[in-house]
Structure 1
Amino acid sequence: MAAILNFAIFPMDKGSNLGDYVSKVIQHIRESGLDYQLTPMGTIIEAPTVGEALKVVEEAYEILEPISDRIYCVMNMDVKKDKSGLIKGKIASIEERIGEVNK
């Protein structure tokens, strides 16, 4: 089983330069040991279970909660019981059809 989860989370009360806050969340994701991919609009993580994926989102909230009175989070998820390696697999599937996509 694999759960691939795309999410964005950030404080809404810290102005328009949020890199200092978002980088704390990305550092935590990196330290989790899960496969992840940072994108301009969010971060994709892959976990063995839905619970582990949602735990990362909860922990991201816990990082931001002490420093913000308002936190925005959006996420979507794809769970496959018979697969793993979804982040790389989904990209490879498209690249087989049209060539390299992330130049």
Structure 2
Amino acid sequence: MSVLLEFAMFPTDKGESVSPYVSRVIELIRDSGCDYQLTPMGTIIETDTLSQALALVEAAYATLEQAGCSRVYSSLNLDIRKGKDNRMQGKVASIRARIGDINS
């Protein structure tokens, strides 16, 4: 099974620039050992199970809570597929191959 989770999580009570808080969440994800990709609008992770993905979301919230954040915004998108793995790279490679992308 492959679970792709695209999510964004950040405090809304810490001013205009929240990168110090977001970086704590990214460190947590990096240290978890799961594959991830940071994007300008969120982070994509790939795990083997839904419970692993949701545990990372919960740990991310706990990280912000411990940092003194009283209000946190989050959005989540999930793509769960049995019988597949390495989809984070595979899905992009499939599209690049179809359009003849020289960067693939």
Q: Do these two structures clear the TM 0.5 threshold for a shared fold by scoring above it?
A: yes
Identical positions, percent: 51
Gaps of 5+ in 1: none
In the TM superposition, what are the counterparts of 1:37-56 in structure 2 within 5 Å? 37-56=37-56
RMSD (Å) for aligned C-alpha atoms = 1.3
Alpha-carbon distance in 1 for matches of 2:15, 2:103: 33
Deviations 1:28-68 (A, max 9, x none): 00000000000000000000000001100000000001311
What's 1:22 paired with? Answer: 22
What's 2:78 paired with? Answer: 77
Q: TM-score, normalised by structure 2?
A: 0.94
What SS does the aligned partner of 1:28 have?
Answer: helix
Q: TM-score, normalised by structure 1?
A: 0.95
What's 1:3 paired with? Answer: 3
Offset, 1:101: 6.7
What SS does the aligned partner of 1:46 have?
Answer: strand
Q: Are the structure 2 counterparts of residues 44 and 100 from structure 1 closer, same or farther at C-alpha, using a change threshold of 3 Å?
A: farther
Deviation >2 Å, runs of 4+: none
Q: Are the structure 2 counterparts of residues 64 and 91 from structure 1 closer, same or farther at C-alpha, using a change threshold of 3 Å?
A: same
Gaps of 5+ in 2: none
